[in-house]
């Protein structure tokens, strides 16, 4: 019942931070749904809440978040997650990738 309420709040704009804290504090409630919640919630509007939630999840779910952001082209957010979740060993080039993309975009704009 608690899981259903928290998952419902994940989809609402206002209570996201509270839902993220609850899910991060009680990661076993999510079980296999952790990656689904990360995928639904990680839309760029609440990165800090998502990272806070991910801190309480297992390493596999944390790495999923970074790979998800990279796949969406959100390289700066991926690098930020790598720092927040202490995954530098798993993603040593994350910071370089977003800086390279930013430089290339600046060069294209002139």
Phi/psi region, residue 80 (left: phi>0; alpha: psi -120 to 50; beta: rest), is alpha
pLDDT value of residue 1? 44
Q: What is the DSSP letter of 32?
A: G
Task: Give exposure, 54-92, as e/b (b: 16+ Cβ within 10 Å).
Answer: bbbbeeebbbbbbebbbeeebbbbbbbbbebbebeeebe
pLDDT at 87: 98
Residues 82 and 66: their CA atoms lie apart, in Å, by 7
Residue 57 has pLDDT above 90, yes or no: no
Taking only the tens place, the pLDDT of each residue in 82-107 is 999 999 999 999 999 999 999 998 99
* pLDDT grade for 18, boundaries at 50, 70 and 90: low
What is the distance between the alpha carbons of residues 94 and 10, in angstroms, rounded to a whole number?
Answer: 27
CA geometry: angle 24, 92, 87, nearest 5 deg: 15
| pLDDT band, residue 30 (cuts 50/70/90) | low
């Amino acid at each position: 019942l608690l899981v259903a309420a928290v998952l419902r709040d994940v989809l609402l704009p206002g209570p996201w931070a509270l839902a993220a804290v609850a899910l991060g504090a009680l990661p076993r409630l999510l079980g296999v749904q952790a990656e689904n919640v990360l995928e639904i919630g990680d839309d760029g509007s609440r990165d800090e809440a998502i990272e806070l939630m991910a801190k309480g999840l297992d390493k596999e779910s944390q790495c999923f978040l970074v790979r998800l952001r990279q796949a969406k082209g959100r390289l700066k957010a991926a690098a930020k997650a790598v720092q927040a979740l202490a995954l530098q060993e798993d993603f040593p080039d994350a910071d370089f990738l977003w800086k390279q993309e930013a430089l290339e975009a600046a060069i294209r704009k002139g």
